[in-house]
């Protein structure tokens, strides 16, 4: 196994895996929201069905992944379009911090 | 390769739009989950609102395309799935996902 | 005197295995010193490559304890703690000729495919131009070109890039870095063809900005930023319809 341990490589892996998870989630999300086509009751029924702790955990995970992917995407584009090369490692760390902060806010508000 | 260049351009353009949309979405989610999420709460925002319809339709279109182009890269690099035929398949998948999301956005507007 | 254990991969394109050697552990020795000592005193048939021994020729790169490095400028004590073994393999992502010597031809073929050679504007037949071109050292293009020009072609970045392994057609960081220096050479006349050559999945658009190349380049170059420059140029060209 070649040695790839450095912050921006981990940032790439996190970005790719979060993007993969989000892409798989997207059709499910659209299907769930599409319940509204059958009226408010159908959507409400679905939302109550997802009130279980396991769903809340998955939701929290997705929110964190979304924040992580957003921050990671901004890092990549700052390099690509603005040529920000100097502080890439700090940006990778900031991105992780941002995702955690969003996750924490979500946890504080859920309830 | 013009086609491959254009896919890349499309992914960055959608990413730039998604950066704004996801930020809005995260704020909405964190506000929405305060005290539990109900269909009535969601629909109170979206029902009859052209602004939300437009926002979610654009969001769905950008996310569908962006995700499919991303999955294409992952499939090529990690599974070795390459070729023009597959490219068209990914494009179709992205558009289908987007339409599915626009359908849901319509449901939230119209319900 | 303390001993240093050195595990060296021995074999050829058909396969191989590690062999272990022992040499004296000295205060000041480079990885290349150690390999040379083993070849001279214990294993005359050991194949490896070097020339300048001072970090200029780019011929001595290998994988040292999991990481691609130039071996003539890598001190053993910087990569192995006292008592820790050295593990040497041929440079990854290139065909092995024998033992620690890889075939660099595919690596330099990629430079050619990226149009990594200067195409003079005013003397298409390669003749010496009438006059000297004036390229102000402070100009933006000149500074971009200068930043990448000291590449010694060692292949360390190419060996450290996962995309090279995942996509055999990918031109890789060194060739793309070279192309970016030429894109910024105002004397060069082959810009449209070069930009077309470095575009797409085999070119800069497969780079995921992992920055492994920049992290590992022994010359402290930044191929990742050079590739970002290519992407930026092609993005605006495509958006503004600047090229065919
Ligand atoms: C893959 C990225 C996305 C993630 C991770 C995500 C995540 C979430 C989460 C966790 C919620 C809270 C709802 C609940 O608790 O069940 C939510 C709500 C919602 N999402 Fe998404 N979402 C994503 C993309 C999208 C897209 C592309 C659209 C566009 C159609 C969209 C439309 C909505 C709507 C309309 C709501 C209800 C918001 C409200 O309360 O008003 N989402 N999303
Ligand atoms: C709806 C939410 C999103 C989904 C489902 C999604 C999905 C994906 C996927 C699957 C990839 C491929 C990853 C790879 O090739 O390694 C990707 C890449 C990318 N995403 Fe997203 N993404 C979303 C939102 C965003 C946002 C908000 C941004 C920007 C701020 C963004 C920026 C990027 C960039 C720049 C890449 C290319 C990365 C690379 O070439 O390595 N994405 N996305
Ligand atoms: S930044 Fe690009 S070229 Fe450099 S190692 Fe990463 S993927 Fe390869
Ligand atoms: S860019 Fe650096 S690592 Fe890559 S070949 Fe040139 S000198 Fe070696
Ligand atoms: S021997 Fe020339 S760079 Fe190492």
Per-residue pLDDT of chain B (111 residues; tens, 9 = 90+): 678 999 999 999 999 999 999 999 998 988 887 777 889 999 999 999 999 999 999 999 999 999 999 999 999 999 999 999 999 999 999 999 999 999 999 999 987
CATH number of the CATH domain containing C203: 1.10.1060.10
Q: Are residues C13 and C94 in the same domain?
A: yes
Whole-number pLDDT of residue C175 = 98
* Domain membership of residue A17 as a residue range: 7-109
Chain B: partners with 3+ C-beta pairs within 8 Å = A, C
pLDDT top residue among A49 and C213: C213
Q: The pTM is what? A: 0.92
Decide if A31 is inside a domain. Answer: yes
Q: Are residues C112 and C173 in the same domain?
A: yes
CB contact under 8 A, B71 and A23: yes
For residue C206, the chain B residue with the least C-alpha distance is B73
Q: Is the pLDDT of residue A31 over 60?
A: yes
Whole-number pLDDT of residue C244 = 45
What is d(CA A22, CA C182) in angstroms, rounded to the nearest whole number?
39
Given the structure tokens 């050559």, which residue do they identify? C197
Decide if C244 is inside a domain. Answer: no
If phi over 0 gives left and psi between -120 and 50 gives alpha, with beta otherwise, what is residue C165? alpha
Cα(C176) to centroid(ligand 5), Å: 22
* Binding-site residues, ligand 2, Cβ < 6 A: A 15-16, 19-20, 22-23, 26, 69-70, 73-74, 76-77; B 15, 18-19, 22, 63, 66-67, 70-71, 73-74; C 208
* Domain membership of residue C30 as a residue range: 3-102
In total, the C-beta contacts within 8 angstroms joining chain A to chain B are 103
**How is chain B split into domains, by residue range?**
2-110
Confidence of residue C243 (pLDDT cuts 50, 70, 90): low
Q: Are residues C23 and C98 in the same domain?
A: yes
Kindly report which listed range (A68-72, C98-102, C126-130, C201-205) carries the lowest average pLDDT score. C126-130
Write out chain A residues lying below 8 Å of B28, CB-based: none
Q: Are residues C109 and C87 in the same domain?
A: no
What is the pLDDT averaged over residues C33-55?
A: 97
Cα(C93) to centroid(ligand 4), Å: 14
User: By alpha-carbon position, which residue is closest to atom 6 of ligand 4?
Assistant: C151
* Beta-carbon contacts of residue B50 (< 8 Å; ≥ 6 apart): B109
What is the pLDDT averaged over residues A102-110?
A: 76
pLDDT top residue among C243 and C74: C74
* Residue of B33, B53, B76, B97 to mutate when probing chain A, most A C-beta within 10 A: B33
Q: Are residues C124 and C219 in the same domain?
A: yes
DSSP chain C: --EEEEEEEEEETTEEEEEEEEEE--SS-BHHHHHHHHHHHT-TT-----S-SSSSS---EEEETTEEEESTT-BHHHHS-TTPPEEEEPPTTS-EEETTEE--HHHHHHHHHTT-S--BSS-TTSPPPSS-----TTSHHHHHHHHHTT-----HHHHH-HHHHH-TT--HHHHHHHHHHHHT-TTBS-HHHHHHHT-STTTGGG-----HHHHH-TT---HHHHHHHHHHHHHHHHHTT---
For C159-216, the pLDDT digits (tens) are 999 999 999 999 999 999 999 999 999 989 899 999 999 999 999 999 999 999 999 9
Q: Which residues of C touch A (CB under 8 A)?
A: 63, 65-68, 92, 160, 162, 208-212, 214-215, 222, 224-225, 228-229, 231-232, 235
Q: How many domains would you assign to chain A?
A: 1
Mean pLDDT of chain C: 94
User: By alpha-carbon position, which residue is closest to atom 5 of ligand 1?
Assistant: A62
Q: How many domains would you assign to chain C?
A: 2
Mean pLDDT of chain A: 87
CATH code of B2-110, in short, is 1.20.1300
Distance from CA of B71 to the nearest CA of C (A): 13
Whole-number pLDDT of residue A103 = 79
Decide if A2 is inside a domain. Answer: no
* Beta-carbon contacts of residue B92 (< 8 Å; ≥ 6 apart): none
Q: Is the pLDDT of residue A111 over 80?
A: no
ipTM beyond 0.90?
Answer: yes
Decide if C177 is inside a domain. Answer: yes
Decide if C152 is inside a domain. Answer: yes
From A40, A44, A67, residue closest to B26, measured CB to CB: A67
CATH number of the CATH domain containing A104: 1.20.1300.10
Q: Is the pLDDT of residue C78 over 60?
A: yes
Give the position, in ligand 3's atom list, of the atom nearest the Cα of A9: 6
């Amino acid at each position: 196994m070649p040695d790839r341990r450095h912050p921006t490589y981990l940032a790439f892996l996190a970005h790719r895996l979060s993007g993969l998870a989000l892409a798989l989630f997207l059709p499910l999300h659209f299907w769930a929201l599409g319940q509204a086509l059958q009226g408010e009751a159908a959507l409400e029924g679905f939302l109550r069905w997802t009130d279980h702790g396991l769903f809340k955990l998955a939701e929290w995970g997705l929110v964190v992944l979304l924040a992580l992917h957003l921050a990671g995407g901004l890092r990549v584009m700052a390099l690509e379009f603005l040529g920000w090369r100097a502080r890439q490692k700090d940006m990778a760390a900031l991105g992780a911090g941002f995702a955690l902060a969003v996750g924490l806010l979500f946890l504080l508000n859920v309830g | 390769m013009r086609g491959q260049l254009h896919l890349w351009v499309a992914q960055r353009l959608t990413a730039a739009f998604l950066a704004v949309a996801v930020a809005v979405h995260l704020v909405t989610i964190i506000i929405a989950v305060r005290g539990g999420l109900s269909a009535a709460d969601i629909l109170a925002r979206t029902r009859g609102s052209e602004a939300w319809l437009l926002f979610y339709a654009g969001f769905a279109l950008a996310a569908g395309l962006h995700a499919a182009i991303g999955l294409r890269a992952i499939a090529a690099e990690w599974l070795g799935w390459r070729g023009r035929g597959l490219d068209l398949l990914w494009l179709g998948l992205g558009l289908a996902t987007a339409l599915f999301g626009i359908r849901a956005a319509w449901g939230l507007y119209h319900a | 005197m303390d001993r240093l254990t050195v595990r060296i991969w021995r074999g050829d394109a058909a396969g191989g295995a590690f062999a272990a050697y022992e040499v004296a552990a000295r205060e000041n020795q480079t990885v290349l010193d150690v390999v040379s000592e083993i070849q001279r005193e214990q294993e005359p048939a050991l194949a490896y490559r070097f020339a300048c021994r001072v970090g200029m020729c780019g011929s001595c790169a290998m994988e040292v304890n999991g990481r691609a490095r130039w071996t003539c400028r890598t001190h053993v004590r910087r990569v192995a703690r006292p008592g820790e073994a050295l593990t040497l393999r041929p440079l990854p992502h290139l065909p092995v000729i024998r033992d620690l010597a890889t075939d660099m031809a595919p690596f330099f073929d990629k430079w050619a495919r990226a149009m990594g050679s200067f195409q003079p504007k005013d003397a298409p037949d390669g003749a010496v131009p009438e006059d000297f071109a004036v390229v102000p050292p402070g100009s933006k293009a000149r500074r971009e070109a200068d930043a990448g020009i000291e590449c010694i072609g060692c292949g360390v970045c190419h060996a450290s890039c996962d995309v090279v392994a995942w996509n055999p057609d990918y031109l890789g960081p060194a060739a793309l870095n070279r192309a970016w220096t030429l894109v910024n050479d105002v004397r060069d006349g082959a810009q449209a063809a070069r930009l077309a050559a470095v575009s797409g999945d085999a070119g800069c658009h497969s780079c995921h900005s992992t920055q492994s190349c920049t992290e590992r380049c022994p010359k402290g170059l930044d191929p990742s930023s050079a590739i970002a420059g290519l992407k930026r140029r092609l993005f605006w060209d495509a958006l503004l319809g600047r090229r065919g």
